Amino acid sequence: MAEVECLVPDINGVLRGKVLPAAKLLQAERNVSLRLPASVFNVTVTGEYADVDEDEGAFHDPDMTLRPDPATLCLAPGFKTPTAYVFADAFHTDGEPWTVAPRHVLRTVVELYNARGWRPIVAPELEFYLTEINADPDLPLAPPTGRSGRAESSPQPYGLEAITEHEELIERIYEYAEAAELGLDTMIHESGTAQLEINFLHGEPIRLCDQVMVFKRIARQVALQHRVYATFMAKPMEQQPGSAMHLHVSVVDKAGHNLFADADGGDSEMFRHFIGGLQHYLPAMTPLLAPNVNSFRRLRPNFSAPTNVEWGYDNRTCGLRVPISGRHDRRVENRLPGADANPYLAIAATLMSGYLGIEEALERSPQMKGNAYHHARTLPRTLEHALERFSECEPARRLLGAQFCDTFTCIKEAELEAFQGVISSWERDHLLLKV
Each residue's pLDDT tens digit, 174-186: 999 999 999 999 9
Q: What angle do CA 356, 331, 193 make, to 5 degrees?
A: 110
C-alpha of 170 from chain center: 21
Cα–Cα distance between 233 and 243 in angstroms, integer?
Answer: 7
Cα–Cα distance between 348 and 66 in angstroms, integer?
Answer: 22
Looking at residue 61, its pLDDT comes to 85
Average pLDDT over residues 118-136: 97
Average pLDDT over residues 246-264: 96
Q: Are 153 and 248 in contact (CB under 8 A)?
A: no
The predicted-structure confidence for 174-230, as pLDDT tens digits, reads as follows 999 999 999 999 999 999 999 999 999 999 999 999 999 999 999 999 999 999 999
Q: What angle do CA 314, 361, 394 make, to 5 degrees?
A: 100
The predicted-structure confidence for 75-95, as pLDDT tens digits, reads as follows 999 999 999 999 999 999 899
Looking at residue 142, its pLDDT comes to 94
Looking at residue 312, its pLDDT comes to 97
Sorted by sequence, the CB contacts under 8 Å of residue 150 that are 6+ apart come out as none
C-alpha of 272 from chain center: 25
Looking at residue 353, its pLDDT comes to 98
Q: Are 338 and 242 in contact (CB under 8 A)?
A: yes
Cα–Cα distance list, 425 to 134, 137, 308, 428 (Å) = 17, 11, 30, 5
pLDDT of residue 300 exceeding 50: yes
The predicted-structure confidence for 341-351, as pLDDT tens digits, reads as follows 999 999 999 99
Looking at residue 155, its pLDDT comes to 81
Looking at residue 57, its pLDDT comes to 45
Looking at residue 24, its pLDDT comes to 85
Looking at residue 96, its pLDDT comes to 95
Q: Are 309 and 278 in contact (CB under 8 A)?
A: yes
Report the Cα–Cα distance between both ends of the chain, in Å, rounded. Answer: 63
Looking at residue 31, its pLDDT comes to 76
Looking at residue 60, its pLDDT comes to 72
Cα–Cα distance list, 144 to 30, 141, 230, 303, 402 (Å) = 48, 9, 10, 22, 44
Cα–Cα distance between 161 and 143 in angstroms, integer?
Answer: 15
Average pLDDT over residues 284-302: 95
Looking at residue 103, its pLDDT comes to 98
* Domains identified in the chain and CATH numbers: 3-98 (3.10.20.70), 110-426 (3.30.590.10)
The predicted-structure confidence for 404-430, as pLDDT tens digits, reads as follows 999 999 999 999 999 999 999 999 999
Q: State how beta strands 35-37 and 184-189 pair.
A: unpaired
The predicted-structure confidence for 9-65, as pLDDT tens digits, reads as follows 999 999 999 999 988 887 877 777 799 999 999 999 999 999 876 544 445 789 999
Return the closest-CA partner of residue 89 out of 110, 116, 114, 107.
107
Three-state secondary structure string covering the chain: CCEEEEEEECCCCCEEEEEEEHHHHHHHHHHCCCEEEHHHHHECCCCCECCCCHHHCCCCCCEEEEEECHHHCEECCCCCCCEEEEEEEEECCCCCECCCCHHHHHHHHHHHHHCCCEEEEEEEEEEEEEEECCCCCCCCCCCCECCCCCECCCCCCCCHHHHHCCHHHHHHHHHHHHHCCCCEEEEEECCCCCEEEEEECCECHHHHHHHHHHHHHHHHHHHHHCCEEEECCCCCCCCCCCCEEEEEEEEEECCCCECCECCCCCECHHHHHHHHHHHHHHHHHHHHHCCCCCHHHHCCCCCCCCCCCCEEECCCCCCEEECCCCCCCCCEEECCCECCCCHHHHHHHHHHHHHHHHHCCCCCCCCCCCCHHHCCCCCCCCHHHHHHHHHCCHHHHHHHCHHHHHHHHHHHHHHHHHHHCCCCHHHHHHHCCCC
Looking at residue 53, its pLDDT comes to 64
| pLDDT bracket for residue 320 (50, 70, 90) | very high
Looking at residue 59, its pLDDT comes to 56
Q: Are 203 and 123 in contact (CB under 8 A)?
A: yes
Query: Amino acid identity of 305?
Result: A
pLDDT of residue 397 exceeding 90: yes
